[in-house]
Each structure stands twice: as C-alpha cells, then as structure tokens.
C-alpha cells in the first residue's frame, strides 16, 4: 500500500470499511479449545457412566483428565496469542470469564470432594468470585481481581467457620468484591464527571 496516493472521499470510505472488515474477519475463534474441552468432558462423563456398571477402580480417576487437559489448553492459548498479532477489546473480557469459571469449577470440585459442605456460604462465595474476577481481569481493574480472589480464599475459610459466624465471611466477600471496588469506581466516575462539566 502506497502512502501518498491522493484519496477521493469514496476511496477513503471504502478503505475504512475494508480495513474494519479485515480486522473483524480475524475475530473468528479457531474452535480448538472448545473441541478440546467438549471431547474431554464427553469422554469423562461416558466413561464414568460405563464404570457405574463395570466398577473398575482405575476408571474412578478419569476426571483427572480435566486437570491434564489444562496443559494443552495453556499451549493452545500461548500459540494462538502469538499468531494473532493483536488484542481485541473482547479478548480480555472473554479470557476473564473463562479463567474465573475455570478457577471456580476447580475450587468447587476440590471443596465438594474434600469437605462435607454443611452450609451454603462456600458455594455463594465461590459464585461471588466469578463475575468479580472476570470483570476485574477483563477491564484490568486490580481491586476487582483481588476481590474475586479474596472470595475464593474466603470460600475455603468458610468451611472451618460455623454458622452464624460464617455470615461475617459473606459480608467480608461482598466488602472486598464489590463495596471497596465500587467506592473506587464511584470516585473515578465523579472525578471524570467534574472534569467534563
């Protein structure tokens, strides 16, 4: 593409449209990650179903495949990131959603397999962390990343705290995940508003 070529109005508009279209065409996902996780979960579910009748002890560990599958997932993510050559506005947000979902599901699997959950606080705190961490990661807003992680730590702590004291942990989760980040966001918003008036 040459630079100093004189552009007519129509050519300018055509160029803008074609560039935006080109960038948009790159947004398509390769689908490899979805195929990987789809295959792994289908396989684990079906093997567990069959093992209900077969009762082979070795097959009880089939769900560990989901942990093993994290390795190719990391490799795929790094490779795709390298070849992409750009970062879209959505990519960070989507990464945040999947990352928080992954952490929450592994945490939940761990907690439900290791502990008898006799109150819902651990489940609520695990859920609190998902949108908080995803939003913080997607918008590069550190207080919400910390808030999301804090909820997951509190979810583990809550297993050792009896009712009604566990309500302090729920309040602590809400304070760290939403109230403090909310105060910070409000301060930024009011500051920006004052500057634009």
Partner 1 sequence: MFKDLNPILHSQLRLAVVSLLITVKEAEFTYLREKTNATAGNLSVQINKLKEAGYIDVTKSFKDNYPQTICKITPQGVQAFEEYVKDLQAYLNIKK
Q: Which residues contribute to the site for partner 1 (CB under 8 A)?
A: 1-5, 7, 9-10, 12-13, 15-16, 19-20, 22-24, 84-89, 91-92
Torsion of CA 117, 120, 126, 129, to 10 degrees: -160
Of 72 and 81, which has the nearer Cβ to partner 1?
Answer: 81
Structure token digits, residue 130:
């998902």
Of 53 and 89, which has the nearer Cβ to partner 1?
Answer: 89
Instruction: Say if CB 107 and CB 122 are below 8 A apart.
Output: no
CB of 80 to partner 1, least distance (A): 14
CB of 1 to partner 1, least distance (A): 5
Of 4 and 116, which has the nearer Cβ to partner 1?
Answer: 4
Query: Which DSSP helix (H) or strand (E) runs through 93?
Result: helix 89-114
CB of 174 to partner 1, least distance (A): 31
CB of 83 to partner 1, least distance (A): 10
Structure token digits, residue 40:
């792994």
Distance CA 58, CA 179 (A): 47
Distance CA 144, CA 132 (A): 6
Of 57 and 85, which has the nearer Cβ to partner 1?
Answer: 85
Structure token digits, residue 120:
């819902």
């Amino acid at each position: 593409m040459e630079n100093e070529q004189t552009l007519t109005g129509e050519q300018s508009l055509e160029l803008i449209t074609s560039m935006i279209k080109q960038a948009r065409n790159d947004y398509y996902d390769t689908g490899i990650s979805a195929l990987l996780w789809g295959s792994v979960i289908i396989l684990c579910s079906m093997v567990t179903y069959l093992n209900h009748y077969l009762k082979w002890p070795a097959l009880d560990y089939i769900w560990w495949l989901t942990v093993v599958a994290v390795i190719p997932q990391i490799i795929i993510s790094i490779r795709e990131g390298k070849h992409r050559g750009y970062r879209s506005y959505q990519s960070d947000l989507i990464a945040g959603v999947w990352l928080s979902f992954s952490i929450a599901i592994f945490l939940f699997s761990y907690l439900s397999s290791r502990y008898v959950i006799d109150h819902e606080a651990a489940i609520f705190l695990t859920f609190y962390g998902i949108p908080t961490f995803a939003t913080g990661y997607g918008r590069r807003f550190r207080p919400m990343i910390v808030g999301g992680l804090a909820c997951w730590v509190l979810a583990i702590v809550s297993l050792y705290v009896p009712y009604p004291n566990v309500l302090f942990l729920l309040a602590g989760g809400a304070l760290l995940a939403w109230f403090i980040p909310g105060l910070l966001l409000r301060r930024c918003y009011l500051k920006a508003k004052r500057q634009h008036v």
